[in-house]
Amino acid sequence: MRIAFLVAPEGVEQVELTEPWKAVSDAGHEPVLVSTKPGKIQAFDHLDKAETFPVDEVAGETSAGSFGGLVLPGGVANPDFLRMDEKAVAFVRDFFDGGRPVAAICHAPWTLVEADVVRGRTLTSWPSLRTDIRNAGGTWVDEQVKVCDGGPNTLVTSRKPDDLKAFCEAFVDVFAQSATAG
């Protein structure tokens, strides 16, 4: 199963990209790096530049329907850039409209807020997003991982890099269940 990893051209927290990427690969799925521009993305280790990664596909030129799930890594700047890009926001919304599972960690739920898909859902995130999630009609909880079965698809959220092990285990399990159900 192909799994989309949507990131901005810069600002993604590297470990929130690489650890879930490894989990998807280890589970036998195909991770695909999707961004708003072709070329390479610049990852960060908090505020310091880290590695670059090649973009596989571009939002607006690919379809949510060609993927079995979506992973939204965090980083402070990454979701802020994504939520300002209409094609990226539409790409995220299409996963929800199509009933495909989505996983988001740390600051990534900002993109979910912009896509207007948190209403009626319970999720977790980096604590500074609490008010944004509540204002968007969601319920925020301070938990390592939150799996929300609201609507036709499942949303898996997590707070921070320290939660990556639990986050990866949860979303890989949800994605596998979705694949066998679909």
pLDDT tier for residue 77 given thresholds of 50, 70 and 90:
very high
Q: Known catalytic residue: 106?
A: yes
For 122-155, the pLDDT digits (tens) are 999 999 999 999 999 999 999 999 998 755 689 9
Is residue 151 helix, strand or coil?
A: coil
C-alpha dihedral sign at 84, 30, 17, 170:
positive
Please provide the average confidence, as pLDDT, over all residues in the chain: 95
| Given 64, 88, 92, 106, the catalytic residue | 106
- Answer for the pair 101, 131: CB distance below 8 angstroms, yes or no: no
pTM here is: 0.97
Rounded to the nearest 10 degrees, the angle between the axes of helix 14-26 and helix 164-181 is: 40
Count of other CB atoms within 10 angstroms of residue 142: 10
For 21-55, the pLDDT digits (tens) are 999 999 999 999 999 999 999 999 999 999 999 99
